[in-house]
Amino acid sequence: MKRILILIMIISMSAVVVTGCGNSNSVTNDGKYKVVATTTLVADLVKSIGGEYVNVQGLMGPGVDPHLYKASAGDVKLMQNADMVVYNGLHLEGKMGDIFENIEVAKK
Protein backbone atom coordinates (compact mmCIF):
# COMPACT_ATOMS: atom_id res chain seq x y z
CA MET A 1 0.00 0.00 0.00
CA LYS A 2 2.83 2.38 0.88
CA ARG A 3 4.51 1.78 -2.50
CA ILE A 4 1.27 2.56 -4.32
CA LEU A 5 0.90 5.82 -2.40
CA ILE A 6 4.48 6.81 -3.23
CA LEU A 7 3.90 5.98 -6.91
CA ILE A 8 0.74 8.09 -6.98
CA MET A 9 2.62 11.00 -5.40
CA ILE A 10 5.42 10.76 -7.97
CA ILE A 11 2.94 10.70 -10.84
CA SER A 12 1.04 13.65 -9.37
CA MET A 13 4.22 15.64 -8.88
CA SER A 14 5.34 14.98 -12.44
CA ALA A 15 2.03 16.35 -13.71
CA VAL A 16 2.34 19.59 -11.75
CA VAL A 17 3.31 22.58 -13.83
CA VAL A 18 4.95 25.50 -12.09
CA THR A 19 4.80 29.01 -13.47
CA GLY A 20 6.57 32.03 -12.03
CA CYS A 21 4.63 35.28 -12.05
CA GLY A 22 5.36 38.96 -12.10
CA ASN A 23 6.29 39.91 -8.59
CA SER A 24 9.91 41.02 -8.56
CA ASN A 25 10.07 40.82 -4.76
CA SER A 26 10.13 37.05 -4.42
CA VAL A 27 9.88 36.87 -0.64
CA THR A 28 7.18 38.43 1.56
CA ASN A 29 7.86 40.48 4.68
CA ASP A 30 7.73 37.31 6.75
CA GLY A 31 10.39 35.67 4.55
CA LYS A 32 7.98 33.30 2.79
CA TYR A 33 7.28 32.86 -0.90
CA LYS A 34 3.75 33.70 -2.04
CA VAL A 35 2.39 30.67 -3.88
CA VAL A 36 -1.03 30.29 -5.50
CA ALA A 37 -2.24 26.75 -6.16
CA THR A 38 -5.31 25.91 -8.21
CA THR A 39 -6.76 22.78 -6.61
CA THR A 40 -6.78 21.62 -3.01
CA LEU A 41 -4.65 18.61 -3.96
CA VAL A 42 -1.96 20.81 -5.47
CA ALA A 43 -2.17 23.28 -2.56
CA ASP A 44 -1.65 20.46 -0.06
CA LEU A 45 1.31 19.17 -2.08
CA VAL A 46 2.94 22.62 -2.15
CA LYS A 47 2.38 23.07 1.60
CA SER A 48 3.97 19.69 2.27
CA ILE A 49 6.99 20.37 0.09
CA GLY A 50 7.43 24.08 0.88
CA GLY A 51 6.70 23.82 4.58
CA GLU A 52 7.66 26.92 6.53
CA TYR A 53 9.06 28.67 3.44
CA VAL A 54 5.75 29.24 1.63
CA ASN A 55 2.40 30.93 2.11
CA VAL A 56 -0.03 28.97 -0.06
CA GLN A 57 -3.33 30.38 -1.28
CA GLY A 58 -5.68 27.90 -2.96
CA LEU A 59 -8.08 29.08 -5.63
CA MET A 60 -10.58 26.22 -5.62
CA GLY A 61 -12.18 24.89 -2.49
CA PRO A 62 -13.25 21.33 -1.82
CA GLY A 63 -15.97 20.09 -4.16
CA VAL A 64 -15.16 22.48 -7.01
CA ASP A 65 -14.91 20.76 -10.40
CA PRO A 66 -11.57 21.98 -11.82
CA HIS A 67 -12.70 21.14 -15.37
CA LEU A 68 -15.40 23.81 -15.12
CA TYR A 69 -13.33 26.35 -13.18
CA LYS A 70 -13.35 29.94 -14.41
CA ALA A 71 -11.00 32.33 -12.65
CA SER A 72 -12.55 35.44 -11.14
CA ALA A 73 -10.92 38.86 -11.35
CA GLY A 74 -9.74 38.36 -7.76
CA ASP A 75 -8.18 35.01 -8.68
CA VAL A 76 -6.30 36.61 -11.57
CA LYS A 77 -5.03 39.37 -9.27
CA LEU A 78 -3.82 36.73 -6.75
CA MET A 79 -1.94 34.95 -9.54
CA GLN A 80 -0.43 38.20 -10.84
CA ASN A 81 0.89 39.07 -7.37
CA ALA A 82 2.20 35.59 -6.57
CA ASP A 83 5.81 34.55 -6.74
CA MET A 84 4.73 31.22 -8.13
CA VAL A 85 1.54 29.65 -9.46
CA VAL A 86 1.28 25.88 -9.26
CA TYR A 87 -1.33 23.98 -11.24
CA ASN A 88 -1.88 20.45 -12.46
CA GLY A 89 -2.13 21.25 -16.15
CA LEU A 90 -3.27 18.73 -18.76
CA HIS A 91 -6.43 20.86 -19.17
CA LEU A 92 -7.65 19.90 -15.69
CA GLU A 93 -8.21 23.52 -14.64
CA GLY A 94 -10.41 24.63 -17.51
CA LYS A 95 -9.00 27.71 -19.23
CA MET A 96 -5.92 28.32 -17.08
CA GLY A 97 -3.64 28.33 -20.14
CA ASP A 98 -5.53 31.32 -21.56
CA ILE A 99 -5.28 33.14 -18.24
CA PHE A 100 -1.51 32.60 -18.03
CA GLU A 101 -1.10 33.90 -21.57
CA ASN A 102 -3.10 37.02 -20.68
CA ILE A 103 -1.07 37.58 -17.52
CA GLU A 104 2.15 37.22 -19.52
CA VAL A 105 0.91 39.70 -22.17
CA ALA A 106 -0.12 42.19 -19.46
CA LYS A 107 3.40 42.08 -17.94
CA LYS A 108 5.08 43.08 -21.22
Q: Give CA–CA dist 53/33, Å, rounded.
A: 6
The mean pLDDT value for 40-54 works out to 92
Tell me: the pLDDT tens digits for 85-105? 888 877 677 777 778 777 765
Residue 54 CA, distance from chain mean position: 12
- Picking from 35, 108, 97, 11, the residue whose alpha carbon sits closest to that of residue 44 is 35
Choose between 29 and 47: higher pLDDT: 47
Angle of the 73-81 helix axis to the 96-107 helix axis, nearest 10? 60
Model pLDDT, residue 14: 45
For domain 2-107, the CATH architecture is 3-Layer(aba) Sandwich (3.40)
Mean confidence (pLDDT) of the chain: 76
pLDDT grade for 24, boundaries at 50, 70 and 90: very low
Q: Give CA–CA dist 26/23, Å, rounded.
A: 6
